[in-house]
A = this chain, B = another copy of it.
Amino acid sequence: MKGNRITLDDIAKKVGVTKMTVSRYLTNPDKVAKATGVKIKAAIDEVGYVPNRVPVMLSQASTKTIGMAVSSFSNLLFSDLIDGAEARARKAGYEILIAHTSYRPEEEERKLNQLMSYQVDAMILTDPVHTPLTIKRLKMSKIPVVELMSLVDNPIDMNIGYNHTKVSYAAIKSLIECGRRHIMYLTARMDARTMNRQTGYLTALKEHNLPAHIYGSEAPSNFTIGAETMRQALLEFPEVDAVFCTNDDVAIGAMIACVEQGVKVPDDISILGYNGLDIGNTTVPKLTSIRTARYDMGKSAVELILMRLRNGDHLETHMELTPMLSLGQTLTTEETQALSRNFDTLYALKMPPLLSEEPSGPRRWLKRTPKER
């Protein structure tokens, strides 16, 4: 039962003109007689009329709307992505329509369907993996699509992001260069980016004939999970001398566990986070983390879309970004410098064949169901 919404015609009748006049007033008040305009305004204010954009969408016109499917609202990194995209979109008179996918391709497919059914002019995706149907729908629709965050192998259209595998490879190489030999990968719920990082981690270790130690959980990442997993790791793998974390949440959990157990960071164990969120600045010592330019990515995505929409050009844009280091004290000075150096030359970095098979070393999963509601 939906309320009887007010239409242009209702306003028109109140004023004693046709809806066309009211429509004109709405797009440009100067196009109607001043006296008429005043009456129309009064009528609109009186009833709280909200223009219905649906018919406009129907008339093949642009909807001035960009759809954005983000992986999660509980990971702060996506909040920055949205802010960047919205700020740029608004400046151009566009709106962003947001949906979230919970990192699941099928959910992305659902939400994409929903957004496309609103006739969005373009789509921004933040998951790197899609269902075949998602890909087909986007390609057939011909609307501009930007995949954000990860550099992907077969972009649907445009792509801005990081090669997380390469970044992780470079990070682990740096730690090895600086003498770490028992490097652990601390992870949480497996999504595609988590896997990319793992591949980079495994590849670097393999190259140096070092064993892999992967500790993770099935639950979505948070501080508690990170701490629990790290406690377990310290028991089972006490030689650990470096922890590469899939994100800052679990990294902070790891720091908490280290403090509890009297482990010195970074002397005994160095800890490296991923994303460079604000929270890492508040710990003591501050977390060293791989910082991704989230706000700028959101902004750039909209910029690429606007260019395409305006010029109709079909430049294939695939931008590989290189991360900065969010400086803290959870790596040694030497390690920090090695990482910065290696990130600077990331484009030139050659990797050996990627490893995606199971690691040779121990692999430990804490069984733990997501929290009850």
By a beta-carbon cutoff of 8 Å, the part of chain A in contact with chain B is: 1-6, 45, 47-55, 57-58, 60, 62-63, 72-74, 76, 78-80, 82-84, 95, 97-100, 113-114, 116-119, 121, 133, 136-143, 222-224, 227, 252-253, 256, 259-260, 278-279, 281-284, 295-296, 308-310, 312, 373
Contacts and interface: CB of A to CB of B under 8 A. Distances in A.
A291 to B, nearest CB: 13
Contacts of A142: 2-4
10 contacts: A1-B308, A4-B142, A48-B140, A49-B140, A53-B118, A55-B58, A72-B79, A74-B80, A222-B282, A223-B279
Given A73-B82, A260-B284, A295 B224 contact: no
Given A1-B308, A45-B136, A50-B113, 19 more contacts: A2-B62, A2-B119, A3-B141, A3-B143, A47-B140, A48-B133, A53-B117, A54-B57, A58-B58, A72-B79, A73-B73, A73-B79, A73-B82, A82-B100, A97-B97, A223-B278, A227-B282, A253-B282, A256-B283
B256 A284 contact: yes
A275 to B, nearest CB: 14
Say how many copies of this protein the assembly contains: 2
Given A48-B141, A137-B48, A224 B54 contact: no
Given A73-B79, A117-B54, A118-B54, A48 B98 contact: no
Across the A-B interface, the 9 shortest Cβ-Cβ residue pairs: A3-B142, A223-B282, A48-B136, A53-B117, A48-B140, A73-B79, A74-B79, A48-B137, A54-B57
A80 B279 CA distance: 19
B50 A141 contact: yes
A68 B76 CA distance: 19
A248 to B, nearest CB: 12
Contacts of A121: 2
B278 A222 contact: yes
Nearest to A112: B50
Q: Most chain-B Cβ atoms within 10 A of its Cβ — which of A62, A118, A296?
A: A118
Nearest to A309: B1
Q: Chain A interface mostly helix, strand, loop or mixed? A: helix
Nearest to A299: B373
B119 A52 contact: yes
Nearest to A78: B73
A312 B58 CA distance: 29
Contacts of A58: 54-55, 58
A309 B58 CA distance: 26
B54 A140 contact: no
B62 A140 contact: no
A373 B85 CA distance: 13
A50 B113 CA distance: 7
A98 B95 contact: no
B256 A282 contact: yes
A96 B256 CA distance: 37
A48 B114 contact: no
Contacts of A50: 113, 116-117, 137, 141
Given A223-B278, A282-B256, A95 B119 contact: no
Nearest to A99: B98
Given A82-B73, A224-B281, A373 B295 contact: yes
